[in-house]
Structure 1
Amino acid sequence: MANKTILKWAGSKVGIMEQLRPHLPKTKRLVEPFAGSCAVMMNTDYEQYLIADVNQDLINLYLIAQSLPLDFIANAEYYFQTFNQKHSYYNIRDKFNTTKKYMTPQGVAVNFLYLNRHCYNGLCRYSEKTGFNVPFGNYKNPYFPKKEIISFANKAQESEIICLEWQDTLSLVDFGDGVYCDPPYKGDGFTRYHAAGFSDADQEALAVALKDINDSQGNPVTVSNSLAAKELYLDLGFTVHEIEAPRKIAANGSRKSATEIIAVLAGVK
């Protein structure tokens, strides 16, 4: 059974770990430029991890969970016990968007966890004008991930966690590292996990950059994406596997399983 994660996350890999794990790089260190829910880190046993993401709120939460897990639990649990009403959610969301720059890093992490666990389907979506803009999820008893925070803190002691663009993260890939990328899916509709978004041009640039790293350094590479990205990766010489993945949310409202791809470039020994 897969380990759960601190955050609810649209597109989390928890549900497909048994299908994904055989295709992941066999290396000592795994580099992830798109941290997401950290489902892969929490369900694999690499000696080291480099976990990165462009989303500052996400990385800040992981850094706080890594360094101050007990304080984080105590402060976040108070929010969960006290503010489980619709008006409270929108008040906290407005405060988060307008006064975040004045909060402590731990305060930002507490608010972000609260919003994630109380918002609709664990979406992480931003507007350039208003900031985090996911509506209230209307849950009776949102789950508080105490066990997951402790598990993450233990696992993260052997991890480097940084806030970087994917291009900068790939520049840190060393000889012998493995790379796993789980970018916003091509054509999926939910690409604004950061205000800058992730375009088709970004999809192509990422795929080409991963091919270049494999060619120049021999690093094994694994990528998850939608079926819409299949031809892109095939054209670059990736081996592409199709899997059926459960979907908790989709752009068209369907929750049926969807075909996804796992694109792989073997490492050069």
Structure 2
Amino acid sequence: MKSKNRAFLKWAGGKYSLTEQINQRLPEGKRLIEPFVGAGSVFLNSDFDEYLLNDINPDLIEMYKIIKRKPKQFIIDAKHYFQDKFNDEATYYQLRKEFNLSQDPYQRSLLFLYMNRHGYNGLCRYNKSGGFNVPFGRYKKPYFPEKELLFFSEKSKSATFTCKPYHKLFHYLRDDDVLYCDPPYVPLSKSASFTSYASAGFSLDDQANLARLARESKCNVLLSNHDTTLTQELYRDALCDKIQVSRTISSHSTTRQPVGELFALFSAQSNKLNK
């Protein structure tokens, strides 16, 4: 059995546990495009010749570019913040403040990784002013992902990283591309909405627009989302199937109940017939 590769980031909604199911549903192609790359678990566990990896979060993409360009120096500098003296609540909030005030991409990248591993539940969340606002996580000894960083840097030699609105990625398509779209999910309830991953949220209009772009795409598009009445309607022209998965974004283990995960494949051939 082929070994799996973990992302170096902790990530709410990450796809590490579902990479086998996703790969089974991804059509063949030369280049994989991910408009919502997140922590990159699908990228790290798939086998395409090229990758175009995008995210709306500039801190995330800038860090990926730096790690691709100079991984060894980044690892040396990032490891500095994983000493015991930095695993302290007051220190965390001071460094979070420095991050929010900094304009230096390299320093922000180092602190982004530090806060990802020391902050609460691996969340990535910003306030309306664009300030990172995840609280301290209180972990005994946060893990420094050196092995995962090295693998990411090696794999990223075949990747191009961009920071654009998701719909812009549909302008760059080639016939042999495959898109995997993992947008912020449709909330299961009014209290379950989690759209503050970047300073701009992902609205229901965005959900509908993404479905339209997938339907009209010149290449194959696979989408993931919650299995709800809304997504079933949005993806009605796609080949859909679902599985039961355990969600881990809840802070209480007793409330982490299995939910339906919907996969929708819009095939390029069907898209042409529907036009």
Both proteins in one fold, TM over 0.5: yes
The answer for the alignment partner of 2:245 in structure 1 is: 245
Measure, in 2, the Cα distance between the counterparts of 1:135 and 1:227. Answer: 31
Residue segments in structure 2 that go unaligned for 5+ positions in a row: 271-275
TM-score (norm 2): 0.90
Q: Return closer, same or farther for 1:3/1:136 CA change in 2, 3 Å cut-off.
A: same
Q: Deviations over 1:44-70 (max 9, x none)?
A: 010100000110001011111111100
The answer for the alignment partner of 1:70 in structure 2 is: 72
Q: In the alignment, is the contact (CA less than 8 A) between 2:56 and 2:165 conserved in 1?
A: yes
Deviation at 1:239, TM superposition (A): 1.3
Q: In the alignment, is the contact (CA less than 8 A) between 1:233 and 1:263 conserved in 2?
A: no
The reply on whether 1:87 has 2:90 as its aligned counterpart is yes
TM-score (norm 1): 0.92
Measure, in 2, the Cα distance between the counterparts of 1:141 and 1:26. Answer: 41
Give SS of 1:132's match: coil
Measure, in 1, the Cα distance between the counterparts of 2:268 and 2:121. Answer: 37
The answer for the alignment partner of 1:8 in structure 2 is: 10
Measure, in 2, the Cα distance between the counterparts of 1:183 and 1:252. Answer: 24
Q: In the alignment, is the contact (CA less than 8 A) between 1:80 and 1:142 conserved in 2?
A: yes
The answer for the alignment partner of 1:268 in structure 2 is: 269
Deviation at 1:250, TM superposition (A): 3.2
Deviation at 1:172, TM superposition (A): 1.3
Measure, in 2, the Cα distance between the counterparts of 1:53 and 1:250. Answer: 23
Measure, in 2, the Cα distance between the counterparts of 1:62 and 1:88. Answer: 25
The answer for the alignment partner of 2:160 in structure 1 is: 160
Q: Deviations over 1:78-108 (max 9, x none)?
A: 01114111111111111111x222x2x2211
Measure, in 2, the Cα distance between the counterparts of 1:153 and 1:186. Answer: 32
The alignment-based identity, stated in percent, is: 39
The reply on whether 1:209 has 2:213 as its aligned counterpart is yes
Measure, in 2, the Cα distance between the counterparts of 1:139 and 1:17. Answer: 27
**For this pair of structures, how many residues does the alignment match?**
261
Measure, in 2, the Cα distance between the counterparts of 1:24 and 1:130. Answer: 34
Q: In the alignment, is the contact (CA less than 8 A) between 2:211 and 2:235 conserved in 1?
A: no
The answer for the alignment partner of 1:200 in structure 2 is: 204
Moved over 6 A (4+): none
